[in-house]
């Protein structure tokens, strides 16, 4: 038995010494110390040893086990250290290299401009309303005092789904829908996407955005419209901004006007930005036509109101001094990340 234990010990130490990986070392542990290992088999055969020899044989078995376990643990530590060192060499990190940055997205210039306009009008007590982009001809034209023979209804200007349904050409239909509800007074703006059959160029697109405003109440005058728009442009472009009204024609307002603002780049002196005129056209407006009020169920003898509309892209182009509208939709990260 003593010779057998010595042979087991020598064999185990030899195999441990020849182990060059932790997996092989674990195999040696199982072969000698596992449930079916060689040393375990010796312990199971203790019943065949004479009773007087069992203490001596048991001591030899324990000494052999301790010797094997000691060498196993020492070899394991050496192999783990070698493996760690090899890993560190293969996974060297150069701490002097620039860190990887997360490319976090942000709001589009159109969204930034829209939220700024909404903030201004919400501060004046307006509600933000929405409506469908696919609209009935009735709301997009008829209820806005645009009759069947009006040029705006030509297919060269408007996308028709069928005779009764169009892609809305403005967000004014939202105003008509709100007026129909009969909840007065009304102070609202309607931002949203609109569609017109335009060729794509630096200032036109078949799909763009508008923000239209509407106020309906008793004793509303053109002076209220003028004061509202003055507050708006000063908040948007700066306190030094001046405003100018030019007579114009819109079917749904009477009287109507185009609104210019003094160039916030040169202060009205004339520059490339304002094409030397000192003024920049920004929006259209006017007093709501009495016939429009009647078609929406509002008595024009008791109520009056004003409306205005501004292109969202135009605000973004002016505010951020962008020369080409197409830049807003080309998704060029070099352009968009500036905002």
Domain boundaries, the chain: 2-90, 109-336
What residues are paired with 321 via a beta bridge? none
Mean pLDDT of the chain: 85
Read off the pLDDT band of 269 (50, 70, 90).
Answer: confident
Asked whether the beta carbons of 220 and 250 are under 8 A apart, the reply is no
- What is the spatial order of strands in the sheet that 127-128 belongs to? 127-128, 186-195, 207-217, 304-311, 279-288, 253-262, 243-250
pLDDT in tens, 221-251: 999 999 999 999 999 888 988 999 999 999 8
| CATH value of 109-336 in 3.40.50.150, 3.10.129.10, 3.40.1190.10, 3.30.930.10 | 3.30.930.10
Q: What pLDDT is stored for residue 56 in this prediction?
A: 74
User: Which pLDDT belongs to residue 2?
Assistant: 65
Least confident range of 48-57, 82-91, 122-131 = 48-57
Q: What is the pLDDT of residue 1?
A: 62
| Alpha-carbon dihedral 160, 161, 165, 168, rounded to 10 degrees | -60
pLDDT at residue number 106: 83
Across residues 186-206, what is the average pLDDT? Answer: 90
Say whether the peptide bond before residue 149 is cis (omega within 30 degrees of 0): no
What is the C-alpha separation between 136 and 142, in angstroms, rounded?
Answer: 9
Cα distance between residue 236 and residue 253, in whole Å: 24
Q: What is the mean pLDDT of residues 306-321?
A: 89
The pLDDT score that the predictor gives to residue 49 is 62
pTM: 0.66
Q: With H, G, I as helix, E, B as strand and everything else as coil, classify residue 200.
A: coil
What distance in Å separates the CA atoms of residue 328 and residue 90, rounded to the nearest whole number? 46
Best CA proximity match to 120, nearest among 308, 272, 276: 308
Q: Using the predicted structure, report yes or no on whether residue 97 has a pLDDT greater than 90.
A: no
């Amino acid at each position: 038995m003593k010779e057998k234990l010595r042979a087991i010990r020598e064999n185990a130490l030899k195999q441990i010494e020849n182990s060059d990986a932790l997996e092989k070392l674990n195999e040696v542990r199982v072969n000698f110390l596992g449930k079916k290992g060689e040393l375990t088999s010796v312990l199971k055969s203790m019943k065949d040893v004479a009773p007087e020899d069992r203490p001596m044989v048991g001591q030899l078995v324990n000494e052999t086990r301790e010797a094997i376990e000691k060498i196993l643990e020492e070899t394991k530590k050496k192999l783990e250290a070698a493996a760690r060192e090899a890993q560190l060499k293969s996974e060297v990190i150069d701490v002097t290299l620039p860190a990887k940055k997360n490319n976090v997205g942000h709001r589009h210039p159109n969204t930034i401009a829209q939220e700024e306009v909404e903030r201004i009008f919400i501060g004046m007590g307006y509600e933000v309303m929405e409506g469908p982009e696919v609209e009935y001809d009735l709301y997009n034209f008829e209820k806005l005092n645009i009759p069947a023979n009006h040029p705006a209804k030509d297919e060269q200007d408007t996308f028709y789904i069928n005779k009764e349904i169009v892609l809305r050409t403005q967000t004014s239909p939202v105003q008509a829908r709100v007026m129909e509800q009969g909840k007065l007074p009304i102070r609202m703006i309607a931002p949203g996407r609109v569609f017109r059959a335009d060729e794509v160029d630096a200032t036109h697109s078949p799909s763009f955005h508008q923000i239209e405003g509407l106020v309906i109440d008793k004793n509303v005058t053109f002076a209220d419209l003028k004061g509202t728009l003055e507050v708006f442009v000063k908040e948007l472009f700066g306190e030094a901004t001046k405003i100018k009204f030019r007579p114009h024609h819109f079917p749904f307002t009477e009287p109507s006007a185009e609104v210019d603002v003094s160039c916030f780049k040169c202060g009205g002196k004339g520059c490339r930005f304002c094409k030397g005129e000192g003024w920049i056209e920004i929006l259209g407006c006017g007093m709501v036509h009495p016939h429009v009020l009647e078609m929406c169920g509002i008595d024009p003898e008791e109520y009056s109101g004003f409306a205005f509309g501004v292109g969202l892209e135009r605000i973004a182009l002016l505010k951020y001094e962008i020369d080409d509208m197409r830049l807003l939709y080309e998704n060029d990260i070099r352009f968009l990340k500036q905002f």
